[in-house]
Amino acid sequence: MNKLSLIFFSLIAYSGFSQEHFAGLTNSSRVGIISTSINPAELANMSNKFEVNIIGTSFNVSNNKIGFSDLFSNTDLESLLFKGNDPVNMSVDAQVYGLGIAMKYKKWGLAITSKAHGKLDIVDVDTKLGDALVNAGLNSAFGSSTISNNYNQRMNGTTWGEVGFTLSRNLIDKEKYKINIGATFKLLFPGSYANLGLDKFQGTITNSAGQVYMNNTTANLNIAYSGGLASSFSNFNDYSQSVFGNLNGFSGDLGFNYQWKDKPESNPKKNLNKYKLNLGLALRNIGSMTFKDDNNYSTNYKLNIQPTLANPLGLNLNQFQNVDNLQQIETILINQGYLNVTPTKKDFKVKLPTLFSAYADLKIISKLYVSGYIQQKINDNNENDQITAQNSFTITPRVNLGFFEVYSPWTNNEISGFNGGIGFRVGGFYLDGHFYKIMEYKTSIKYRKEKLKQLLNVLILREQEIVLALCNDFKKPEFEAVVTETSYVISDLKNTIKNIESWAKSKWVLPSLLNFPSSDYIISEPYGKVLIISPWNYPYQLALCPIISGVAAGNQVVVKPSELTPNTSKIINEIISEVFDKNHVEVIEGGIEISQKLLAQRWDYIFFTGSVAVGKIVAKAAAEFLTPVTLELGGKNPCIIDKNCNLKLTAKRIVWGKFINGGQTCIAPDYLLVNAEIKQKLVDALIEEIVLAYGENPEISKDFPRIVNTKNWKRLASFLENQTILFGGKTNESDNYLAPTLLNEPSLESSVMHDEIFGPILPIISYKEESEIEKIISKYEKPLSLYVFSNDMKWAKNIVKKYSFGGGCINDTIIHFSNKRLPFGGVGYSGIGAYHGKLSFETFSHKKSIVNKSTWIDLPMRYAPYKEKVQTIKKLLNWF
């Protein structure tokens, strides 16, 4: 006698029907009517002859801004939603499952179901634009922000109902496995709809004492509305009455199901839907619906907001604060002349969120299962006529005790990232929810790469502004600004984006035979909170490159740029604020007192570029907390010229390497040691090259920079006192100008030979014997760089090997800095650590060593008691 099946109830808790949302499939004993929404083929797995569904609900919210803890804070949620710089994405998905009936007949499963949908979506909305529209405000009482986006920003709401007819059949039923197929045909009843789309938005938002204006703005604007959502956003009763409209659409689902059966039990009823593995594939929501209503409108506009006599500041956004529907927005824009097309009544079609899904539910041991689910959207969420969906991947372990079940889905979706939750089933009642969100920007390679790509786009877009800032700070020539700053940073950034995934991978190493059998590898993990203090001489490059590496390695970064180059520091701050959230990367401007306050804090890593004197202060502060450091310092960099050299080329390369950036380069030649036999010829060649490069009067040359400030100018000018000047020596304090200058045989005890020069002054000292070179170089601490010019490669290579220094060149100057495959850094007083290229990533990464030791064998030699083991161990150690 056929037995009437169970009647399933789902209560409205956090999400009474949310196992499908979170886990992606209906597992455990809940197979039948509810399963058809995920895969119609599952209907053939019904355990009973009949099933009836009374009501079931699901409510799912995903967003990339607000965490679970924020719901209990005092912070305004609208402000949190539009914080930071990442575009806002949010999806609210509510479903109510109404009356449904299912029946199983032999190998067939049949069902009729009903469902109501409600969706609200925010897609890729710029935070500054969203804040201005929703909150009518920027972060300050006065200020402006330029927004430039090439994608479509959308705010969309949709309600509709559906009635589904599902047919499923068991095709194959063998002793060890079975295969089902199924299809659902759905009648669609579109209810309410509203869409506001802004494509290719370019514009400026200005806050003037609390009044927010939009100006110089263009965009492709789509406004569409129908039903209750046309007249109100916030009155639920207004559009809940039109959740179900007339029949105006169709859609379908297709499904495939495979089960690897478990060992049969003596009671045949217990073998129903009992498996070791359950696999499914489904293609869902294939179709669309057409909105037809008395207040139906869909219009594409060209938005153009420019200053007028009536509105010289542009469109006042404050007037949108109390707007309750799209018709009001449309009317305001048309009446003020920013839209030049009259809206017309129009039926419009909306596509359902077509999805491909695959899942597997695996029995691990008795009562313990693990399911995996992948969902891939087919359509583009940015299209104005598209109901959105999101890609997701879920792993769900569950313990099924029959009447009671507990499960914990862990999901990664493209909006809210990683989420975790827990759910319970008691009989036919379910209570579950997602309550935990993991903030993973530090360790997500995908996130790091996305942010670096955003940074690249902004740097390219604002390159000319950066060049201008460098010129305004100390008249850096455009060529030098591009070659040594902007292009170098862009190249470094592209190289990092290209290689970040391979750099971040765990590195497997050959295991020691003493640990056999084992798997040994190295994990690169971020240090954590990193402080970068950058200098003024290459203020853009030496700030951005460490930032790039710090972010690539997964750190939170705080950057203190130099106060001596305020224009460059300002634009760095603007760029970083535009791309990164402050809790990820933050620029803090200020002078010495700010640096002192920062150094008093505890950091996980400090990266400093600057003078030896300040480097000691940084090292001392880091020692307080045992913080690891990279110190990029300087020193007295010797340039040694052999009598056997290409004199003209030597002079050309020395002049370029010394006087680029006005001599304010940490790796520039600090002094020349030239063989006495060719000294005069070299001096003549140097003078000739200086004149060729900067003219007879370098002060009027556009290619020669200035000293960064008056304090440094006075320091350099004092070096010229009581010196024999071979060339140059002209100064102009009012312009911080100091000409390219050659000094003849300064005393080693003079001030110019005591400290690093860091300016356009080049002392020339002659030697007769090689021993004199050693005597002079050994007087100073280990330099950051050393250069040697000679046609005698054996002699030149011997010089390079003989002395300790950070890096250098044979027959050239400073170019070793440009090779990303070469480590750049000092030794001793000239610095600690090195970076560039892959080594930059490694500098900001902790190398964690792991030995994964096997348990299937365990050699007893290492364990106590040690009696008579010593000699054996010594022999083994000698072998390895």
Give residue-wise pLDDT tens across range 543-600. 999 999 999 999 999 999 999 999 999 999 999 998 988 889 999 999 999 999 999 9
d(CA 678, CA 350): 84
Q: Under 8 Å CB-to-CB from 433, ≥6 apart: which residues? A: 13, 14, 15, 18, 421, 422, 423
In whole angstroms, give the CA distance from residue 738 to residue 727: 12
**Tokens standing for 221?**
């604007």
330, 632, 689, 756: the catalytic one is: 632
Provide CB contacts within 8 A for 325, sequence distance 6+. Answer: 194, 225, 229, 230, 231, 232, 233
Note every long-range contact of 317-321, with CB atoms under 8 Å and residues 24 or more positions apart, other chains counting.
317/132, 317/133, 317/136, 317/205, 317/212, 317/213, 317/214, 318/136, 318/210, 318/211, 318/212, 320/133, 320/136, 321/136
Predicted confidence at residue 404, as pLDDT, reads 76
CA distance 482 to 124: 33
DSSP conformational letter for 483: I
pLDDT of residue 273: 59
Helix (H, G, I), strand (E, B), or coil: what is residue 49? coil
Tell me the C-alpha distance between 561 and 595, whole Å. Answer: 10
Which of 26, 14, 98 has its CA nearest to residue 60?
A: 14
- What are the phi and psi torsion angles at 196 (to 5°)? -125, 110
CA distance 400 to 379: 36
Which of 341, 406, 379 minimizes the C-alpha distance to 23?
A: 406
Phi, psi of 311 (to 5 degrees): -130, 75
Burial class of 6 by CB neighbour count within 10 A (0 to 12, 13 to 18, 19+): middle
Angle among Cα 30, 15, 409 to the nearest 5 degrees reads 65
User: In sequence order, what are the residues at sequence separation of 6 or more whose Cβ sits closer than 8 angstroms to the Cβ of residue 51?
Assistant: 5, 6, 7, 8, 32, 33, 100, 101, 102, 103, 111
Query: Residue 384: helix, strand or coil by DSSP?
Result: coil
476 forms beta bridges with none
Q: Give the span between the Cα atoms of 255 and 358, in whole angstroms.
A: 10
pLDDT of residue 242: 59
Q: Residue 310 to residues 20, 314, 339, 756: CA-CA distances in angstroms?
A: 55, 9, 16, 62
CB contact set of 11 (below 8 Å; sequence gap of 6+): 57, 429, 430, 431
Architecture of the domain delimited by 638-820? 3-Layer(aba) Sandwich (3.40)
In this structure, CATH architecture of domain 445-632: 3-Layer(aba) Sandwich (3.40)
Q: Give the per-residue pLDDT at 74.
A: 59
Over pLDDT 70: what percentage of the chain?
A: 85
Q: What span, in angstroms and rounded, lies between the C-alpha atoms of 312 and 206?
A: 12
Q: DSSP characters for 754-794?
A: TS---SSEEEEEEESSHHHHHHHHTTSPPPSEEEEE-S-HH
148's CB contacts (< 8 A; 6+ apart) are: 201, 202, 461
612-624 vs 592-599: helix crossing angle, rounded to 10: 30
* Domain ranges within the chain, ordered by starting residue: 7-373, 445-632, 638-820
Is 638-820 in the same CATH topology as 445-632?
no
CA angle 31–32–35, rounded 5-degree value: 75
Look at residue 129 in the predicted model and tell me its pLDDT.
77
* Sites in the chain below the pLDDT cut of 70: 1-34, 67-80, 84, 132-144, 208-210, 228-244, 265-273, 321-322, 324, 341-345, 403, 425-443, 876-880
Place of tokens 């008395």: 294
Burial readout 618-637 (b: 16 or more C-beta within 10 A, e: otherwise): beebbeeeebebbbbbbbbb
The C-alpha atoms of residue 541 and residue 534 are separated, in whole angstroms, by 9
Distance CA 293, CA 230 (A): 10
Residue 632 designated active-site: yes
SS3 142: strand
- Is residue 249 within 8 Å of residue 287, measured between CB atoms? yes
What is the number of other CB atoms lying within 10 angstroms of the CB of residue 1?
A: 2
Q: Is 634 helix (H, G, I), strand (E, B) or coil?
A: coil
Contact call for residues 147 and 133 (beta carbons, < 8 A): no
User: How far is C-alpha 8 from the chain's CA centre?
Assistant: 45
**Which residues contact residue 323 at a Cβ distance below 8 angstroms, ignoring those fewer than 6 apart?**
329, 332
Q: Are 529 and 604 in contact (CB under 8 A)?
A: yes
d(CA 234, CA 216): 31
* C-alpha span between 638 and 772 (Å, rounded): 13
pLDDT of residue 182: 94
Helical (H) or strand (E) element with 687: helix 679-694
Instruction: For residues 95 and 79, give the distance between their C-alpha atoms in angstroms, rounded to a whole number.
Output: 28
